[in-house]
Amino acid sequence: MTEDLPILYSFRRCPYAMRGRMAIAVSGTPMRLREILLRDKPEEMLEVSPKGTVPVVVIGDKVIDESIDVMHWALEHNDPERWLKVKDTDGLIEENDGPFKHHLDRYKYSTRYEGADAEEHRAEGFKFLQKLERQLEDASILRDTSILHREGGRSLRREGRRIDAPQDEGVQWETGYLYGNARSLADIAIFPFVRQFRIADMEWFDSAPIPRVQRWLIALMESALFKSVMKKYPLWKDTGEEIDFCKKR
């Protein structure tokens, strides 16, 4: 373990931390991961980031404590899958982090919010999932170059979005991604929250009329990348053990 490597405070089940870890992992940036519990945060973390949320990255005197900034920081160092090249032109990440997260919390944890009606919030959250379904449909149209040529104006609007093949050997399904047929920043930033939405009632989610979103989610959950960042680690507070996250290749 090299003492001067950046530190990553993380909590395995937090969707914000998941997307941060995935960006760090794909970028191949070596870090010292400190696994925490939200109900028992280490003083060392609160000292550098008093707002007390994960993920937090500490590089010398510099602290990054917003997950999107963590993703950008990692990918600006190294972005082998060119996630940053694909712009989220439809503002999906913002909608995910704002209204969708609002409804997700009130659907999944309705008892924690006074007066929250879980079904109403599920219906509101579903509107975002339907939007993702349309987005995935659009992206699959993009994959079919003959349709792309036929569609004239639309293909211009879509210009610049990449259509590379997925690189993750864990993906076994022919699936589309939000902005083409390779995963990019938006897919990785959003899917951990859709995964949580599914966990609230899997039977309901799996039978909802959003087949593309269902396939997209499974492909991302089954990816080698996601599996690699979901390993269970001992708590840093208990053991003092920092995890050698993302060893140099």
Pick 19 or 122: Cβ nearer ligand GSH: 19
Which tokens is 69 given? 């900034």
Closest distance of CB 69 from ligand GSH, Å = 8
Closest CA to 194 of 222, 175, 217: 217
Query: What span, in angstroms and rounded, lies between the C-alpha atoms of 120 and 62?
Result: 42
Q: Give min distance, CB of 171 to ligand GSH, in A.
A: 26
Cβ 175 to ligand GSH shortest distance, Å: 26
CA–CA separation, 223 vs 182, rounded Å?
A: 12
In angstroms, give the least distance from the CB of 90 to ligand GSH.
19
**Residues in contact with 68: Cβ distance below 8 Å, sequence separation at least 6, in sequence order:** 93, 97, 189
Regarding 54 and contact with ligand GSH (CB under 6 A), the answer is: yes
The residues that bridge with 62 in the sheet, in sequence order, are: 59
Which of the ranges 14-22, 108-116, 139-147, 174-182 carries the binding residues for ligand GSH, by CB under 6 A? 14-22
Stretch that binds ligand GSH, among 60-68, 111-119, 120-128, 130-138 (CB under 6 A): 60-68
Burial of 138-175, coded b for 16+ CB within 10 Å and e otherwise, reads: bbbbbeeeeebeeeeeeeeebeebeeeebebeebeeeb
C-beta closer to ligand GSH: residue 98 or 209: 98
Q: Is 191 in the site for ligand GSH (CB under 6 A)?
A: no
Q: Is 14 in the site for ligand GSH (CB under 6 A)?
A: yes
Give 92 or 210: the residue with its C-beta nearer to ligand GSH: 92
Helices (H), 60-117: 67-77, 92-95, 101-108
Stretch that binds ligand GSH, among 47-55, 105-113, 195-203, 227-235 (CB under 6 A): 47-55
Q: Which amino acid is at 129?
A: L
Q: Can you give the binding site for ligand GSH, defined by CB under 6 A?
A: 14-16, 38, 52-54, 66-68
